[in-house]
Structure 1
Amino acid sequence: MFAGVDLDPLRFEGSLVRIRGWVDERDGPRIEVTHPEQIEVLATP
């Protein structure tokens, strides 16, 4: 799904983002992002 929208995760480096999803305890707290719609950029450097 991410390749179809040309989304590069490295472009978020240094940005403030909001990720929506379920918090999972596997390997520590995390959210698995499966859809681009889960990512919201709040501020960029």
Structure 2
Amino acid sequence: PYTISQVGFESGFNNKVTFYKTFRQYFQCTPLEYVSRLERERALMS
């Protein structure tokens, strides 16, 4: 699996700060919060 920083780089962001700011504007949470939310939802579905 990719790290959050790798996802940002693969998405075309050249630095972590810009990726985090853009992600937060779009999803209203940090990338780590988003991943945690997905993991909780997957656990509930299984």
Same fold (TM over 0.5): no
Name the TM tier (shorter chain): under 0.3
Q: Which has the higher contact order (CA 8 A, sep 6+)?
A: 1
Higher strand share goes to which structure? 1
